[in-house]
Structure 1
Amino acid sequence: MNLSIFFEPLPEDLFGYPENPKSVGGYLAPFIHSFPDWRSAEVVLIGLPEYRGTAAPTDLTYQGPNKIRQELYRLMKGTGSWLLMDLGNLLPGIALEDTYLRLKEVIEILVDAGKFPILLGGSHDLTYGQFLGYEHLSKTVHLVMIDSQLDMASEDEAAPDQSHLHRILLHDPNYLFGFSHLAHQTYLTEASTLAALEKLHFELFRVGQVRQQIQEMEPVIRQANLISFDVAALRHQDAPGQQQANPFGLTGEEACQLCWYAGQNNELSSFGFYGYRPEFDHRNLTATTLATMVWYTIEGFYQRQASLDFQSNQFIKFAVGFHDNPNKMFFFKNRHTEKWWMQVDDLSGQHPPLLVPCSYQDYLTAADGDVPNRWILMQARF
């Protein structure tokens, strides 16, 4: 498939002449005159200038991906080879649904080829197109979403960027094995929505929980196959370029920490940054914040470890017994990264055991004689 038919080139005056050869712009290959050979890349950037799924976009809105690029290109390159290419901006379809399907096809091709696409959105409903890109896989996936609220509106008149999560959960065929939502704010979310998702055994973390226990979010993110980040999860002080002026939320530093975790996740195969509205962005502060988050994602990507062999000397195996139960719970710790995994056995015996990312706290909970909540949630999904 010739991917170039889906993209428009970037303006030469903005991206053709990097200010510093050691900057990100000096290392990557952008689509300006000729479409880059994306097959030789490891990480690819894709702009999504599509905002029909949100309220009241302006002409400036559609420059959102380029604004983020401008700030990203100015940053200094990190460690590693950084085989990075910028494919330009995805051409929107005639209708919004056409854009979803176009994004689906692009994600499908890139993921199949082992590339890591980073999406610069675009309204948050484009997560649906990103999710569709995994439909062809012969396996289930885990989605992590980071947003100030759960976009679960079911009313017919609801905007797509307020209802896309509802659409993902109802998608047929159902290949969503797990879903985790980070940084929601309770006063922006209906209690019935939270209760419904908890009954489905999904993980939900309030912004306060994320902030107070940000290291506990690492195993949550380590489960993800795809991540969707809405700029609305950031507080207004760090990211004014959003539809709503939100005085509370994640700081830029906390968001970069989550992106660092995400980049290091070997299972993560796409990451979308959505919701940026440049018409509200004073002095490009939001664009700079998002560009730094993208930088940490790429830097984390180049810190990924080799494929995991839990039987090798790379891991220490721990067995935890329970007083009233002859069975044991097994944990694995990586000697080098000190990351933990937990073995979850299917009690019905119908499925093979799963090795699930967990935290040191989960091990301590089991050692104290209690079953970790993460084990209970995974058991319920069998």
Structure 2
Amino acid sequence: MFTSWLRSSSVSPVLSTSCLGSHLSRWPNPAIRVAFIGVHAATADEVRRHLFPLQWDHGQLSCVDLGNLRKTTTEFAIPLLRELHEAGIVPVLLGGVGTAIPQAQYLAFGSLHRRINLLQVDQQLALSPTTSGLQVLDAAVHRTDAPAYHLSHIGSQRQMVDPALDALIQRRYFERYTLGEARAQPGDLEPCIRDADVALIDIASVLHAEAPAQRGYHPSGLSLQEAGQLCYYAGNSDRLASFGVYGLELGTEQATTAERLTAAAYAQLVWYFLHGLSRRAGDFPATTEGMTEYVVDAKLPQRMTFWRSPRSNRWWIQVPGVTELSGEMRNYLVACSYQDYLQTGQEGKLPERIVRAFSRY
């Protein structure tokens, strides 16, 4: 079905039955929910060598390894990714360096929907301040035709971000959490991540000491444990439908120790994404059935409606004036926390993140 886009990987390790590699399903299989796709073959194959021996703790999750892309251009990859989305399969992209495939990842999803929430975790904010250029996020943020995008960015370092981007972030009501904010309370980022449809993770967001083959020489970053926690949140969200890890590109020669360690970091991030995905609760936007409604009418110009899922104990707030009939259902509830609900009810004040979210409508 996908042979025109892909070639088989050369990695076929002999593994015990408890390892991830031994749980890969055969294609085609109607139960498949996740498909691994290598972008840069040498990089992806090295990641597989570290990923497949990891222990399987993902329940009945059905995964398949589709191999590596024959071409790494945006136009070539979009039809493949679009077909996977239409089939309800989450692509997990093992990427290298460059803008083409990250752009294909969100443009393919965007071709099926009217509005996309895009999440990037990176040490830089890979975005041009004004018009579309050569940055990873330009094709999303600066496009003039539908669909529209919302951007959430985690892990940026002040010394590496153009100050001119501050005005763009404010004007478009984007979300940005610096490295310091992300490391202070990683758990507070869960609602932001839960609102994303597409996630781009750059390995440069991780401490250089824990992923030493990343580009440049920038020692600060998230610990691999913290980055893995964010990947778990991404996998655990019923909304997120596309996941990619980027930033490492191996040559044709045997991998160095630094490259192998960085490929192992890739594998750990993918493992935690799968761990979260295998434990999805099947709540919003999969369904609102059984969710509990809470109406707050205290010190606010209008009533605020919150929803809680008893399956996961997660919270959402309904955008005032937006209904299922006036937009896609997945956009009319904004992910939030129990603390957001308490602050709204007890103090009569909406948290800043929710105010900015409402301003986008």
TM beyond 0.5:
yes
RMSD, aligned CA: 2.5
CA contact (8 A) 1:331 1:363 kept: yes
Which range is displaced more, 300-309 or 19-28?
A: 300-309
Corresponding position: 1:111 with 2:89: no
- How far is the alpha carbon of 1:144 from its aligned partner? 0.5
Change (3 A) 1:67 1:155: farther
Partner of 1:176: 148
CA contact (8 A) 1:242 1:281 kept: no
Identity percentage over the alignment?
Answer: 28
Partner of 1:252: 224
Partner of 1:37: 28
In the alignment, residue 47 of structure 1 is paired with which amino acid?
Answer: G
Partner SS state of residue 37, structure 2: strand
CA distance in 2 between counterparts of 1:288 and 1:67 reads: 8
CA contact (8 A) 2:233 2:276 kept: yes
Render the CA deviation track for 1:231-275: whole Å, top value 9, x for unaligned.
111110111121112210110000110111011111111101011
- How far is the alpha carbon of 1:10 from its aligned partner? 1.4
2:338 aligned to 345, 360, 365, which one?
360
- How far is the alpha carbon of 1:356 from its aligned partner? 1.1
Partner of 1:340: 315
- How far is the alpha carbon of 1:43 from its aligned partner? 0.7
CA contact (8 A) 2:234 2:276 kept: yes
After the TM superposition, which residues 1-382 of structure 1 pair with which residues of structure 2 at under 5 Å, given as runs? 2-11=1-10, 14-15=11-12, 17-29=13-25, 36-37=27-28, 39-49=30-40, 63-92=42-71, 99-125=73-99, 126-153=101-128, 160=134, 163-278=135-250, 282=258, 284-308=260-284, 309-310=287-288, 312=290, 315-323=291-299, 325=301, 327-346=302-321, 351=326, 354-367=332-345, 368-382=347-361
Change (3 A) 1:317 1:74: same
CA distance in 2 between counterparts of 1:132 and 1:354 reads: 22
CA distance in 1 between counterparts of 2:22 and 2:240 reads: 26
- How far is the alpha carbon of 1:324 from its aligned partner? 6.0
- How far is the alpha carbon of 1:38 from its aligned partner? 5.6
Render the CA deviation track for 1:75-128: whole Å, top value 9, x for unaligned.
0111311311101000115xxxxx111111111000000001100002251211
- How far is the alpha carbon of 1:351 from its aligned partner? 4.4
CA contact (8 A) 2:293 2:307 kept: yes
Which range is displaced more, 369-378 or 249-258?
A: 369-378
Structure 1 stretches of 4+ with a deviation exceeding 6 A read: 154-158
CA contact (8 A) 2:37 2:65 kept: yes
- How far is the alpha carbon of 1:21 from its aligned partner? 2.3
Which range is displaced more, 366-375 or 287-296?
A: 366-375
Q: Which runs of 5+ in 1 are unaligned?
A: 31-35, 50-61, 94-98
Q: Alignment length, in residue pairs?
A: 349
- How far is the alpha carbon of 1:29 from its aligned partner? 4.3
CA contact (8 A) 1:240 1:281 kept: no
- How far is the alpha carbon of 1:41 from its aligned partner? 1.7
Change (3 A) 1:216 1:358: same
Change (3 A) 1:319 1:285: same
In the alignment, residue 105 of structure 1 is paired with which amino acid?
Answer: P
In the alignment, residue 300 of structure 1 is paired with which amino acid?
Answer: G
Render the CA deviation track for 1:314-354: whole Å, top value 9, x for unaligned.
x33322223363x2112122234221111111389x94692
CA distance in 2 between counterparts of 1:375 and 1:251 reads: 28
Which range is displaced more, 259-268 or 277-286?
A: 277-286
Change (3 A) 1:189 1:26: same
- How far is the alpha carbon of 1:177 from its aligned partner? 3.6
CA distance in 2 between counterparts of 1:157 and 1:208 reads: 28
- How far is the alpha carbon of 1:299 from its aligned partner? 1.5
CA distance in 2 between counterparts of 1:39 and 1:102 reads: 25
CA contact (8 A) 2:129 2:168 kept: no
In the alignment, residue 339 of structure 1 is paired with which amino acid?
Answer: R
- How far is the alpha carbon of 1:311 from its aligned partner? 5.7
In the alignment, residue 10 of structure 1 is paired with which amino acid?
Answer: S
